[in-house]
Amino acid sequence: MSTTFQIDTATSRANPTPAPMKRLTVPQIRTRKTDGSSGKPLVMLTAYTARQAQLLDAHCDLLLVGDSLGQVIYGLPSTIPVTLEMMSNHAAAVVRGSYHSVVIVDMPFGSYEAGKEQAFESAARLLKESGAAGVKLEGGAAMAETVAFLVARGIPVMGHVGLTPQAVNVLGGYMARGRDDKEAEKITSDAKALDDAGAFAIVVEGVVEPIAIEVTRAVSCPTIGIGASAQCDGQVLVTEDMLGMFERVPRFVKKYDDIAERIGDTVARYATEVRERSFPTSDQTYKAKS
């Protein structure tokens, strides 16, 4: 079952109650990879709301409350302006809406880079306020000491190497990483440093496929690819991207549906009925008592 943050479905729109199932744990995710290989790949998607979490939960091993919500939910130009408060509020909603998946929350830009003590304070706040199971932070070897500090104090950490969106101003854009030998070597060494520091999993984003495969073989913890390789130990996508909510998506996204078109068609039908006064009908209105 979930934490004390679970939705009260007696008073919530979130009915019917999903069939309860035992929530996965961080150690279970970590041990999905043994002796350098994983059997059944891990499934992870982003979630930002309680209802979205309910719809995804039974199909996923992990739900990531990504700082991508800055762009997807708030219409911001990047993840840089996202705050701890935003992340905490959305993570709490996702925890309330889920029973099965491990909920991981991104640490936003500026909440952990200054030092390990700042990182602990931010991570502790996120977990206490949301009920999430762990945090994700970007960066490789430079963050290894921080990762080890958090893990030693009871905070599970998911790493993130390759294309790191919070460093977009330094990287100069969202292009694939690892195309030259120097950068490829750094990505692999970054992943190893996070693995040695105790990260329970590592997101490998926007990395040329041979390097993603090399990283996956080089670390003992599971890798979760996004724009990387099917040989990673799992995959993650931004849910709105894979559902077709946006016209433009990164090259590595596969659109599994065109929800945006469906919504447009449905709203157009509603608008027509309102203007024709064919909605509401007697089925949607109340009668006076006789």
The answer to whether 22 is annotated as binding is: no
- To the question of whether residue 273 is assigned a binding role by annotation, the answer is no
- 261: annotated active-site residue: no
Annotated active-site residue in 205, 214, 240, 273: 205
| Annotated binding residue 138 | yes
| Interatomic CA distance for residues 231 and 153, integer angstroms | 32
* Residue 106 labeled ligand binder: yes
- The single residue listed with the structure tokens 């993570």 is 91
| Residue numbering of the annotated binding site | 67-68, 106, 136, 138
| Residue numbering of the annotated binding site for 3-methyl-2-oxobutanoate | 67-68, 106, 136
**Would you name the residues annotated as active-site residues?**
205
